[in-house]
Structure 1
C-alpha cells in the first residue's frame, strides 16, 4: 500500500511540473489538455517498461529483445505525438530536433522506471532470502528437536519395560506420565515459544519418571525454582535437554550417594538454569543432547546467551543464562 502512495505522489508532482512548464506558453485550457496528454504518455511508458518489458523481456529474453521492444515502445509513443501534431506544439517544428527532444525527455522516465525495478527486485530477493534463511533455521531447529525426542522415548520405554517385568505398581503411573511428556514434545516442541510454567511442569514430570524407576539416588534429586514472574515465555525443550543429559551421564541410577541438583532462577527477564550431577566415570563424549542444545542456542540467541560447563571433583555442572520473553503468548 505504501508503494501505491509513493507512485501517486510522484505522478502528482510530475503532472504539476509539466502543467507549470506548458502554462508558460499556452492558456489554462490548452495547458491542461497538453499536460494531460504528455503525462498520460509518460505514465504509460513508465509502467509498460516497469511491469512488462523489464521483468518479462529483459529478464527472460535478454538485452537485444529488450532494446527492440523499447525502441518499438518509444516509436509508438512518438507516433501519437506526430499524428496529433503535438510533436510540433510541445517540442519543435523541426522533425529531427523534435525527435531528439522527445527521446531526451522520455528516456529519463524509462531510466527512472528501470531504477525502480532494480530496487524492487533487490528488496524482493532480499525478502525471499531472509524467508528462506528463516525456513532453513526452523527446519534445523525441528531436526535438532526430533533428535532429542527419540532418545528420550527409547530410555523411557526401556524403563517401563523393566518395571513391567518385575510387575511394579509404578509401571502404569510411569506410562501415564510419559504420555504427558510426549504430548508436550508433540504439541509444544514445534512452537517458537512456550510458557515457562509449562517447561517447569515438564521437568517435574521427567523427575517423577526417574523416581518411578526407583533409582539408587532417587532421594537426592532436587529442583528449586525462584521465579520473580518476569519471564512468561521461553523456547521449548531447552531446559529438559540439560536435565536428561544429567541423568544420562551421571551416576545417580547406580550410586546411592549420587545426586542431581537443579536450580532455576528468573530475575529481570533473565533466566539462570543450573544443573549439577555426580559421576563416577569420565564420559569422553558429551552426547547428542548437549551438542544439539548448543546448536539450538546459537540459532535462537546468536551470542546473547551464556553456557558454562564445569567438571571437577566428580561433579559435572552446567549453567545456562539467557533472556526470556516477558510477554504472554
Structure 2
C-alpha cells in the first residue's frame, strides 16, 4: 500500500470515529432528556442503520461504481441498499421487538407503503451525505495532485532554465579570460580569481532556493569586474546600489541576464554615455534599471537566451510580484525591473 492510500485510509478511519462519536453523543443526550428505554433502543437501531447506509455507500458503492462512472449500477446498488435497510428495519422493529420486547415503532396496522415512504425519507439523506463526502474527497485529491504536478513541473522547468543560464555565462566569461591570456595581460590572474568567486557562487550558493540580496549584488560586482578585465581599452560602466541592503532575500542568479545583455549589445567605450546599472532597494522592494547605448556595428553572435530565460523565471518565481519593462529607441536599450522580494 502506497503512502497516499495509507493517508486516505487514515482519513476514512478518523471520519468513521467522528461519525460514531457524534451519533452516540446525540443518542446519549436524547436518552438523558427522555428517560425512555424503548425510544432509546429504537433510536439506537435506527442510528446503526443510518451508519450502515452511509458507510456502505461511502466505502464500497461510491468508490467501486460512482467513481468509475458506472452511474446506473451505482443507482441500482443504492436502491438495493435502501430496500435492504428498510427490510432489516421492519424485521427488527415490527417483528422482533413486538415478539420479544412487547413494543413496536409504528402503530399496528401501518401499511407497508407508508412504512417504505417514511423509511426512504429518513434514510435517503445519508446516501446524499456519503456521496457528498466522496465527491469532496475526490475534489481535494484532484486539487492536491494538480498542485503537486504543477510544483514538479515548475521545479523541472526552473532547473532547465538555470542549466541554460550557467553554461551561457561560463562560455562568455571563459572567452574573456582567453582574450586576456592571448594578450598576455597582467589582468588575467585577477580575472581568474574573480571567476573563481563567481563560480563558487553559481555552483554552491545558487543551489539554495533563496540567497541574501547582498550576495547577489556582489555577484554583479564580480561580473562587472570580470568584464572590465576583459578589455584592453577602458570601458565605462557605472554600477550603483542605493538604499540599505540588510537581510533581504532573492532568488539566486536572477539579475545577471540584464547586466550581461548590456555588455553584449552596448557601447562600452563612450565615457559620456556609460552603461548604467542602478539598483534601488527600499525595504523588500527592489528596482533595477539598466541602460546602455546600442552598438549598431557589433552584434553578439552567440544568440540571446538570457532575457527570454529571465522572463520565464520571473513568471515562475515571482508571479504577480514583478513588472518588467524593456524599451528600445534609436540610441538606447533600457531594462526596468520592479521586484517585490
Structures share fold, TM-score greater than 0.5: yes
Indicate how the Cα distance of structure 1 residues 17 and 182 shifts in structure 2: closer, same or farther if over 3 A, else same.
Answer: same
Aligned residue number for residue 3 of structure 2 = none
* Deviation, structure 1 residue 182: 3.1
Q: Which runs of 5 or more structure 1 residues have no equivalent in the other structure?
A: 325-329
Match runs of 1:220-299 below 5 Å: 220-229=236-245, 232-252=248-268, 255=269, 257=271, 259-281=274-296, 287-299=304-316
CA RMSD after TM alignment: 3.6
Aligned residue number for residue 90 of structure 1 = 105
Residues 287-306 of structure 1: per-residue CA shift (max 9 Å, x gap): 32122222333333445433
Aligned residue number for residue 327 of structure 1 = none
Q: Which runs of 5 or more structure 2 residues have no equivalent in the other structure?
A: 1-9, 98-103
Match runs of 1:154-193 below 5 Å: 154-189=171-206, 191-193=208-210
Write the distance in 2 (CA, Å) between the matches of 1:91 and 1:196.
Answer: 78
The residue matched to 1:60 in structure 2 has which SS? Answer: coil
TM-score, normalised via structure 1 length: 0.79
Indicate yes or no: 2:77 matched with 1:69: yes
Match runs of 1:59-208 below 5 Å: 59-60=67-68, 62-85=70-93, 89-90=104-105, 93-189=110-206, 191-208=208-225
- Would the aligned equivalents of 1:217 and 1:256 in 2 still touch at CA under 8 Å? no
Residues 256-312 of structure 1: per-residue CA shift (max 9 Å, x gap): 647322221111422111222233317899932122222333333445433333445
- Would the aligned equivalents of 1:145 and 1:189 in 2 still touch at CA under 8 Å? no
Indicate how the Cα distance of structure 1 residues 174 and 81 shifts in structure 2: closer, same or farther if over 3 A, else same.
Answer: same
Aligned residue number for residue 320 of structure 1 = 337
- Would the aligned equivalents of 1:177 and 1:209 in 2 still touch at CA under 8 Å? yes
Deviates more, 1:6-15 or 1:295-304: 6-15
TM-score, normalised via structure 2 length: 0.77
Write the distance in 1 (CA, Å) between the matches of 2:205 and 2:77.
Answer: 56
